[in-house]
Amino acid sequence: MEYYNIAFIGAGNLAWHLAPELENYGHKVSLVNNRSKKNAAVLIDRLYRASYKKNLDFSRSDIDIIIIAVNDNCIEEIASEIIIPEHCIIFHTSGTQSIDVLERSAALHYGVLYPLQTFTKGVKASFKDTPIFVEGNGDYAYKILQELTRKLSKQVYKLQSEQRSILHLSAVIASNFSNHMLTIAKSLMDKQDMSFDLLQKVVYSMVQKAFDIGPENGQTGPAVREDLATLEKHRKMLKSDRDLHKLYTMISDHIINTHLR
């Protein structure tokens, strides 16, 4: 297995986890570029001998791979401005941006390395069981992606940009939206001085059942039963919060329409 000298552009949640993980498997992360030098320093402190790179000119470095791990809307601009050594390969880590946004870069070989996981700085996350989806603009890019990911995860899949976008959308709905619903539920519980932990069993059970028998088969609650009296009672309880009242009504109606026989 080859080992690579890597630079990161971006020092957010994903970079905070991925850069040290790559070093754990023998790769070297030697440069970190980020708009905020302070945030870059937080990542650099987790690495062996990395240093801060204040601009996008990597032409005089011995970097093999540059990983762009920034907000989606910044990737194309960075790709067009970055100056790289002749042999350098560029990957981005976005779930929504096409591989084509790297066409404007000077790299002959480029691709995507997208881990399907929720990352938060300071919260431990394992790559071993995290699905990683890769895409390359040719065989050589795929070869390098395989070298980078083969020890990171037991689940590495080739996936084209269009499918990856649908995957990301599905993940946002399933994970981010669900988390926001939990935030709403916690707020309701907090107002009555009840512990959020009281919901743990029912939430865990729902998630497990969804993957055991399919979410469409595991739906329960007043909406799927078309229990209109309970739905109206809940709406009255939420009448002081117009947005939440509207949200509850829209989701309940969607559940009813989805499960109409």
List, for residues 136-145, the tens digit of each pLDDT value. Answer: 999 999 999 9
Q: What is the pLDDT of residue 55?
A: 96
Compute the distance between CA of residue 5 and CA of residue 133 in angstroms, rounded to an integer: 22
For residue range 151-167, what is the model confidence (pLDDT) as tens digits? 899 999 999 999 999 99
- Predicted confidence (pLDDT) at residue 1 exceeds the cutoff of 80: no
* C-alpha 52 chain-centroid distance: 25
pLDDT at 34 over 90: yes
Q: Model confidence at 115, in pLDDT bands (50, 70, 90)?
A: very high
CATH 1.10.3720.10 at 5-159, yes or no = no
pLDDT for residue 178 is more than 70: yes
What would the mean pLDDT of 63-70 be, rounded to a whole number? 97
Residues of the chain with CATH 3.40.50.720: 5-159
Tell me the mean pLDDT in the region 3-13: 96
CATH topology for 164-258?
N-(1-d-carboxylethyl)-l-norvaline Dehydrogenase; domain 2 (1.10.1040)
Q: Does the pLDDT at position 195 exceed 70?
A: yes
User: Average pLDDT, stretch 216-232?
Assistant: 96
pLDDT at 150: 87
For the cut 80, the answer to whether the pLDDT of residue 261 exceeds it is no
Indicate whether 234 pLDDT > 70.
Answer: yes
Mean per-residue pLDDT of the chain: 95
Give the integer Cα–Cα distance in Å for 155 and 136. 17
